Amino acid sequence: MATGKINVSVENIFPLIKKFLYSDHEIFLRELISNATDATLKLKHLTSIGEAKVEYGNPLIEVKVDKDKKKIHIIDQGIGMTEEEVKKYINEVAFSGAEEFLDKYKDAEKDAGIIGHFGLGFYSAFMVADKVEIITKSFKDEPAVHWTCDGSPEFTIKEVKKKDRGTEIILHIAEDSTEFLEDSKIRELLKKYNKFMPIPIKFGTRTETLPKPEGAKEEDPAPTKEVDDIINNPNPAWTKQPTDLKEEDYTAFYRELYPMQFEEPLFHIHLNVDYPFNLTGILYFPKLTNDINIQKDRIQLYQNQVFVTDNVEGIVPEFLTMLRGVIDSPDIPLNVSRSYLQADGAVKKISSYITRKVADKLSSLFKNNREDFEAKWNDIKVVIEYGMLSEEKFFEKAENFALYPTVDGNFYTFEELEAKIKDNQTDKDEKLVVLYASDKEAQHSYIEAAKAKGYEVLLMDSPIVSHLMQKLETSKEKLSFARVDADHVDNLIKKEDTAISKLSDEEKEKLKSEIESVVQDKGYTIQLEAMDSSASPFIITEPEFMRRMKEMQQTGGGGMFGVGNMPDMFNLIVNTNHELVGEILNTKTAKKRTRLINQSLDLARLSKGLLKGEELTKFIARSYDMIK
Cβ-contact 572, 524 below 8 angstroms: yes
Q: Does the annotation list 81 as a binding residue?
A: yes
> What is the spatial distance between Cα 556 and Cα 547, in angstroms, rounded to a whole number?
14
Distance of CA 461 to the CA centre of its chain: 20
pLDDT per residue as tens digits for the range 47-74: 888 888 888 888 999 999 999 999 999 9
Q: Does the annotation list 577 as a binding residue?
A: no
pLDDT per residue as tens digits for the range 557-597: 544 444 445 567 788 888 888 888 888 888 888 888 888 88
pLDDT, position 490? 81
Q: Does the annotation list 378 as a binding residue?
A: no
Please state the φ and ψ torsions of residue 24, each to the nearest 5 degrees.
-130, 30
- Rounded to 10 degrees, what is the CA torsion of 19, 22, 26, 30? -50
pTM of the complete model beyond 0.75? no
Nearest to 288 by CA among 319, 327, 331, 257: 319
Nearest to 414 by CA among 167, 349, 422: 422
Q: Does the annotation list 31 as a binding residue?
A: yes
Cβ-contact 273, 353 below 8 angstroms: yes
In the 3-class helix/strand/coil scheme, how is 332-372 assigned residue by residue?
CCCCCCHHHHHHCHHHHHHHHHHHHHHHHHHHHHHHHCHHH
Q: Does the annotation list 96 as a binding residue?
A: yes
Q: Does the annotation list 35 as a binding residue?
A: yes
pLDDT, position 25? 77
Cβ-contact 178, 161 below 8 angstroms: no
DSSP annotation of 499: P
**pLDDT under 70 in the chain at which residues?**
5-23, 93-120, 289-296, 333-344, 497-498, 521, 554-567
Nearest to 29 by CA among 221, 232, 312: 232
Return the percent helix, strand and coil in the chain, to nearest 5: 45, 20, 35
pLDDT, position 23? 52
pLDDT, position 119? 45
pLDDT, position 338? 54
